[in-house]
Amino acid sequence: MKHDHTHAPEATAVHGFSPGFAALGLEARLLATLEALGYEEPTPIQREAIPPLLAGKDVLGQAATGTGKTAAFTLPLLQRIAHSPKTKPSAIILVPTRELAIQVGEAVGRYGKELRTSVLPLYGGQAIGPQMHALKRGVDVIVATPGRALDHIRRHTLKLEGVQIVVLDEADEMLDMGFAEDLDAILEHTPAAKQTALFSATMPPRIQSIAHRHLQQPVEITIAKEAVKAGSAPRVQQAAYIVTRPYRGATLARIIETAAPKSALVFCRTRVEVDEVTLMLSARGHRVEAIHGGLSQVQRDRVMQAFRTGQTELLVATDVAARGLDIPQVSHVINYDLPSSAEVYVHRIGRTGRAGREGTAITILDPREQRLLRSIEQHTKGKVVVTPVPSVADVVAKRLERTRGAVQEAIRAGDLDGFRGVVKAMAETTDLATIGAAAMKLLFRAEGGERPEQEIPALPMRQAEWHPSAQREGLHRDGASRNRHGRQAMPPAKNRTPRGREAGMTRLYVGAGRDAGIRAGDLVGAIANEAHINSNLIGAIQIEERFSLVDVPESLAKGIVEVLGRSRIKGRKVGVRVFRE
């Protein structure tokens, strides 16, 4: 059975929840969670995949990163195991990388909060001891990289006899990384009578082969690409900035400050994101308004009037809210979230570059989403230029340029006679260049030019790309190497020195060390999982007898200290503070 995506008609609202999600058969608790998270309507892959998955059918889905497929398999998985006999674990989701394991694990926890579903990410580079303890206590959903899952199976700490649902996410990437045998070995330990879902961005013969071996009469779903008429794609300059999720907000603020758009439309995926981004930009002095499905018609009219008349320079919106609105020509369209499909991307950026005017489309991408750039280029018939994030020096230079422009505008406007006497009097003791510089400094400061800015770390090449040569050398994307017995080993230690640290990093003191059994992996795991920080952002680690030191990005230090202060490391509470040398 094969489904191709077509736009479904709008359904009638059920119990006040989003009519789109309610029509898919999701229960009230999940609908309430989606409502609270600000999701307004399902993406194409969610519309097509959720109903058959809720019905217990196997699914073979072709969908790329950024299309909403995590929710497409997570929501029905949560609903089914909530109404099934309790087994621990009830479901296992296999993913290619540790970053994706963390991300999907967070999604399961977020969507399953009302259902009280427990979830455990398992990945290489994380201390295995705490994982073993958690597995022994029992957990509903496992999200794992293949290598670490197989390691636990061989240790008899992960038993899959009671698993009811298996999901293979980004299957083509797992095969590219050499996990084919691992996947077969893991699936051999699961019951024959189970539900299986496989999602892949591409469907080469080897994916079809694994689907044939492990899926039973699957519903096949392809999110069909809609043809874009010749010349319909807008003529705009397209740029992309690739940053890890913790730096998206700072990157957006920096892009807006350096680009200085006269009118910009910022797209977010959910209402909650719209509100967060609007608050952040407003706090930085921008004239910004939010528009999403939660606004009344009166509020929407007021927002749109302010934007059309230039009282507002930035409009932050969801796709649903922007649909059907008479939004005028804008100089910039900024995708804070990658849209659910290339077609939606084309529709978004069609708001700029109209009537022969120049327009700019900017997209902020997670490193995992880079593969979608090619699809976007094919649809828009244009090149997307991957651009470095503006540095702090770039921002300061732009602020100085604006200050100079303001002074030049004041000179052109004239009416300066009231100030000439003051300048002449000062010139008797101070040269004119110094007086001008002091005046520029005061104006620069008054306009927020000295506001401190966090450094956004350049993306390491190992995050930006995956080189096949690394696989030939025995390295795998879940951060572990494999020995000749197929067992995972800890990743090779980085060349770290306890003294001196990279620019933009702060050292944290953790009140536990070797005598408490603390290892580097415990600290990395605690920071990555509890503070939701990408493990690649963690710097040097020094473990002493009774304490440890960890380098983390300065901009994230305060949040990490607060979170770890409330958490447990190796089962115990420890003091965490910024280290003063």
Contact call for residues 502 and 532 (beta carbons, < 8 A): no
pLDDT of residue 16: 43
pLDDT attached to residue 67:
75
Residue 305 tokens read as 């009037």
- Which of the four CATH numbers 3.40.50.300, 3.90.110.10, 3.50.50.60, 1.10.510.10 does domain 237-386 have? 3.40.50.300
Whose CA is closest to 381, among 228, 179, 211?
Answer: 228
By the 10 Å C-beta count (0-12 exposed, 13-18 middle, 19+ buried), 282 is classed as middle
Q: What CATH number matches the domain at 493-578, 3.20.20.105, 3.20.20.70, 3.30.70.330, 3.40.30.10?
A: 3.30.70.330
What is the structure's pLDDT at 119? 94
Angle between helices 392-413 and 432-446 (to 10 degrees): 110
With a CB cutoff of 8 Å and minimum separation 6, the contacts of 578 are 506, 507, 508, 509, 557, 561
- Residue 147 near residue 476 (C-beta atoms within 8 A): yes
For the chain, the domains span 2-222, 237-386, 397-446, 493-578
Positions of the chain with pLDDT lower than 50, given as ranges: 4-18, 225-234, 460-500
Reference 313, options 289, 292, 338, 347; nearest CA is 289
pLDDT at 502: 59
DSSP annotation string for 32-44 = HHHHHHT--S--H
CB atoms within 10 A of CB 451: 13
Residue 147 tokens, joined: 């290598």
Homologous superfamily of 2-222 in CATH? P-loop containing nucleotide triphosphate hydrolases (3.40.50.300)
Instruction: Provide the whole-model pTM.
Output: 0.53
Please state, in angstroms and rounded to a whole number, the distance separating the CA atoms of residues 233 and 381.
Answer: 7
Asked if 237-386 and 493-578 have one fold, the answer is no
Q: In this structure, what token pair is assigned to residue 84? A: 């099934």
> Exposure pattern of 195-204 as b/e (b: 16+ CB <10 Å)?
bbbbbbbebe
pLDDT in tens, 133-183: 999 999 999 999 998 999 999 999 999 999 999 999 989 888 877 888 889
Predicted confidence at residue 476, as pLDDT, reads 35
Helix (H) or strand (E) holding 222: strand 219-222
**Alpha carbon 551 to chain centroid distance?**
23
- Lookup result for tokens 């651009």: 387
Task: For residues 210 and 239, give the distance between their C-alpha atoms in angstroms, rounded to a whole number.
Answer: 37
Amino acid in the structure at residue 109 = G
